[in-house]
Amino acid sequence: MKKVVLVYPSNKFGGSVQSRVELPLGLLAIGSPLHRAGYRVVIIDQRTDGNWRDTLARELAERPLCVGISAMTGPQIRNGIEASRIVKAHGVPVVWGGIHATLLPQQTVEDESVDIVVEGEGEETFFDLVTALDRGTPLSQVRGLWWKENGRGLSSGPRPYIDLNRQAPLAYELVRLDDYLIDVFGRGHISLETSRGCPFRCSYCYNTKVYQGTWRALTPDEAMRRIRILVKDHGIKGILFTDDNFFGKQKWALEILRRIADEGLDVTVSKIDAHVGSFALLSVEDMQVLRKAGCRMVMMGIESGSPKVLNILNKRMRIPDLLAFNRRLRGSGMRPHYFFMMGFPGETLEDLRQTLALKTQLSQENPEGVPRFNIFTPFPGTGLYDVCLQHGLQPPERLADWVTFNYRTVNRRAVWLSDRQKRIIRMLHFATLLAERNNFINPYKKTRLWVKLAALLYLSVARFRVRRFFYRFPLDLKMAEWLGVYPKQGA
């Protein structure tokens, strides 16, 4: 039986085994059709296999047709490159796919550790690639590929978006589901994708490049079939929807949730991500549907409290709609998670003040909410990436150099920010991580006891910094960097 190995790189630099990680859905999506076609598919997840190097070496001894690696921009790339070099030493073809390889396919394939790149969705492209490698047919006959000749990347041309409903359900037997059960609200949850893309065109989002503002979904019948497989066949009690915008079409989303409720499935829905405008349109009856379906958590990208910055981001969001929905959620049993970012091009300190003021208002009006802050990182192909280039951003020229594009770090490449802005953003970002109890004590995250105790002691200081916009005397930040609980300034 011909074999294919798939590797999911860790997003941590330390390389230690991680708990509470989500399913590698991308690898399952490309591995399942091959498994059903009779190939032996092996998935190696660096996050759950502390001996992944030994595991990979054993599998390479049997000469697989290829090894596929999926990575996002950032630390995953470094760990993916390490795996690639091990594979190359055994003379086996290395195939990269995923978000980063799709954003920059030519640069990725021209790296010495990579032989082939799958651009875009991989289910059909990777299947055709493996078949071509098995039969010895030219790669040029497989759409959606990049390969190199004489060190130069060549493309067979893009492949159209796939029909999600024609893809077979995931072969969960390829992984140990217990490794990916995430305890939320006392129930084990598993990730599930029912749609792809987003109809909005936010200027910072990779969706604008990868899916071109399109949104596609399983039919309600097919979505329910896959939910039943998890709930009835595998005994799963909770679903984490990974859809970029579950409410891409409101009628579709409500139909699925209504069916979950009507069928009496004993399941909790603890992750629904959607645009604020979609949530704001929900009626009283619609909210009842969410509750009956077991929905416990909703996720929204807010990004900024400044109308000026929201306009730069093409966010198409009204702050009054957000505040009204936040108040509606109070006491509803559904916990909102709000995601913000700092450090956009064109963002002033006054804009940042407005963002932190909005965060404070949301917390005061609904203490059950969970505000989370990240630091803006430009993704290639997005509108804001082009703006950053105009400011003088020097993009990495090699695949390995993208490792330092970490959303937690404002590094020297952020030329659109002054040194003073960088210092202020780092200090306030650190404070926002600990300014709310729900940020370090919540049902979606396990934290070591000593960290919880230290965070509780620091809580009043963090709140003071956020609410008063106080960024001076960053001794607490320096201590956190020294202890290794907050990343040091990137190079």
How is residue 385 written in tokens?
């990436």
129 near 116, Cβ under 8 Å? yes
Distances in Å between the alpha carbon of 230 and those of 216, 374, 444? 22, 32, 20
pLDDT, residue 411, reads 65
How is residue 441 written in tokens?
């004590």
What whole-number distance in Å separates Cα of residue 478 and Cα of residue 472? 12
What whole-number distance in Å separates Cα of residue 116 and Cα of residue 92? 11
What whole-number distance in Å separates Cα of residue 25 and Cα of residue 428? 34
In a domain, 316, yes or no: no
453 Cβ partners below 8 Å, 6+ apart?
none
What whole-number distance in Å separates Cα of residue 127 and Cα of residue 481? 45
Number of domains in the chain: 1
Helix (H, G, I), strand (E, B) or coil at 474: coil
What whole-number distance in Å separates Cα of residue 153 and Cα of residue 108? 9
Region of 69 please: left (phi>0), alpha (psi -120 to 50) or beta.
Answer: beta
- Strands of the 297-303 sheet, one edge to the other: 272-273, 297-303, 335-342, 370-375
In a domain, 396, yes or no: no
Q: What is the DSSP string of 394-439?
A: ---SSGGGGGG--TT---TT-TTS-HHHHHHHHHHHHHHHHSSGGG
Orientation angle between helical segments 123-135 and 25-36, nearest 10 degrees = 50
Sign of the C-alpha dihedral computed for residues 246, 251, 254 and 259 taken in this order: negative
What whole-number distance in Å separates Cα of residue 46 and Cα of residue 179? 12
How is residue 29 written in tokens?
């999506």
* Burial of 458 from C-beta contacts in 10 A (0-12 / 13-18 / 19+): buried
Q: Which H or E run includes 126? A: helix 123-135
**CATH number (domain holding residue 15):** 3.40.50.280
Helix (H, G, I), strand (E, B) or coil at 46: coil
pLDDT < 50 positions in the chain = 443-444, 491
In a domain, 21, yes or no: yes
140 near 153, Cβ under 8 Å? no
In a domain, 101, yes or no: yes
98 near 72, Cβ under 8 Å? yes
What is the radius of gyration, based on Cα positions, of the chain? 23
* Burial of 250 from C-beta contacts in 10 A (0-12 / 13-18 / 19+): middle
Give the chain's length.
Answer: 491
What whole-number distance in Å separates Cα of residue 136 and Cα of residue 144? 18
In a domain, 384, yes or no: no
What whole-number distance in Å separates Cα of residue 414 and Cα of residue 353? 20
pLDDT, residue 298, reads 94
In a domain, 468, yes or no: no
pLDDT, residue 491, reads 46
What whole-number distance in Å separates Cα of residue 246 and Cα of residue 198? 9
For the entire predicted model, the pTM comes to 0.92
In a domain, 13, yes or no: yes
CA 438 to chain centre: 20
Region of 163 please: left (phi>0), alpha (psi -120 to 50) or beta.
Answer: beta
400 near 230, Cβ under 8 Å? no
Q: Which residue is associated with the tokens 């958590």?
A: 297
Helix (H, G, I), strand (E, B) or coil at 325: helix
Sign of the C-alpha dihedral computed for residues 115, 121, 122 and 125 taken in this order: negative
Q: Which residue is associated with the tokens 């005397």?
A: 473
Q: Which domain holds residue 79?
A: 3-155
What whole-number distance in Å separates Cα of residue 171 and Cα of residue 34? 10
What whole-number distance in Å separates Cα of residue 5 and Cα of residue 313? 39
pLDDT, residue 14, reads 61
pLDDT tens sequence across 214-272: 999 999 999 999 999 999 999 999 999 999 999 999 999 999 999 999 999 999 998 89
Distances in Å between the alpha carbon of 21 and those of 47, 411, 470? 7, 27, 35
184 near 443, Cβ under 8 Å? yes
In a domain, 206, yes or no: no
